[in-house]
C-alpha cells in the first residue's frame, strides 16, 4: 500500500507584524547602501512576489524593477539538477548595481546559478536579499547579503512561500506539518 502524507498548517513562525517590521528594516539597509547609485531590483518569481512588492514600496533609491524565473530539472534527489531561465530579465545590467530578491534560500543551487548569470552580464555588483535564509540546508556557498529571517529546520509556507502552489496568500509564515494518513 502506498503511504499517503497529508499536510496541515502548523504554528506561526513569523507573524504578519514581524514580517512588516523586518521588511522596513531591510529596506532601510538597502537605502543606506545604494543611496545615489543606479540599482536594479530583480524579483525571483513566484515566491518572492509579495516580499518584493512590500520591500520596494519602502525603497527611496528609486530602483529599476525586473522579474526572473528559474527552474531546475532532473531527479529531485540529484545534486546535478540542471537550472535554467523560464523567464529572463529584460533590463540591461551593465554598470549597474543589482539586488536579487528571493523568497527562500535553501540549498543555494538556484541562487548560485542566478548570481553567476547576472554577474556575467557585467553588473557593477550583485547582491542577494532573501525573506528566509535556511543556511542549515546549504549545499553550495551562497551569501545572503540581506536576510529577512533565518531558520534551521522545518518546511515553511505563507507570505509567498508555497507547498504545491498553495498557502502563498497567508499574511504570516507558518510551519507545514506532515501527517501519515494511513496511521490510525
pLDDT tens figures, 12-31: 999 999 999 999 999 999 99
The residue assigned the cell 518546511 is 155
Report the alpha-carbon distance of residue 137 to residue 154 in Å, rounded: 10
3-state SS class at 19: helix
pLDDT at 57: 98
Report the alpha-carbon distance of residue 159 to residue 19 in Å, rounded: 9
Contact 137, 109 (CB under 8 A): no
Say whether pTM exceeds 0.75: yes
| Helix 49-57, helix 16-34: angle, nearest 10 | 60
The residue assigned the cell 530602483 is 63
pLDDT at 179: 64
Tabulate helix, strand, coil % of the chain (nearest 5).
25, 40, 40
The verdict on whether 106 is a catalytic residue reads yes
Catalytic residue among 76, 106, 153, 177: 106
What is the CATH architecture of 16-151?
3-Layer(aba) Sandwich (3.40)
User: pLDDT of 36-90, one tens digit each?
Assistant: 999 999 999 999 999 999 999 999 999 999 999 988 755 554 455 678 777 888 9
Report the alpha-carbon distance of residue 84 to residue 69 in Å, rounded: 9
User: pLDDT of 132-146, one tens digit each?
Assistant: 999 888 899 999 999
85-108 as b/e, with b when 16 or more CB fall inside 10 Å?
eeeebeeebeebbbbbbbbbbbbb
How many Cβ atoms are within 10 Å of 158's Cβ, its own excluded? 24
Beta strands 5-14; 156-157: pairing state: unpaired
Phi/psi at 121 (5° precision): -90, 15
Amino acid at each position: 500500500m502506498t503511504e499517503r502524507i497529508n499536510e496541515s498548517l502548523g504554528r506561526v513562525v513569523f507573524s504578519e507584524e514581524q514580517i512588516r517590521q523586518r521588511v522596513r528594516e531591510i529596506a532601510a539597509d538597502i537605502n543606506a547602501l545604494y543611496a545615489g547609485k543606479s540599482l536594479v531590483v530583480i524579483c525571483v518569481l513566484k515566491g518572492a512576489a509579495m516580499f518584493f512588492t512590500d520591500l520596494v514600496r519602502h525603497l527611496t533609491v528609486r530602483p529599476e524593477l525586473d522579474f526572473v524565473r528559474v527552474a531546475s530539472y532532473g531527479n529531485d534527489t540529484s545534486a546535478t539538477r540542471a537550472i535554467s531561465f523560464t523567464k529572463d530579465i529584460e533590463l540591461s545590467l551593465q554598470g549597474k548595481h543589482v539586488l536579487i530578491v528571493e523568497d527562500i534560500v535553501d540549498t543555494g543551487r538556484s541562487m548560485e546559478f542566478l548570481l553567476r548569470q547576472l554577474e556575467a552580464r557585467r553588473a557593477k555588483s550583485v547582491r542577494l536579499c532573501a525573506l528566509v535564509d535556511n543556511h542549515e540546508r546549504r549545499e553550495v556557498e551562497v551569501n545572503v547579503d540581506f536576510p529577512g529571517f533565518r531558520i534551521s529546520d522545518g518546511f515553511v509556507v505563507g507570505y509567498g512561500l508555497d507547498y504545491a502552489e498553495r498557502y502563498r496568500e497567508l499574511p504570516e509564515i507558518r510551519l507545514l506539518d506532515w501527517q501519515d494518513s494511513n496511521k490510525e
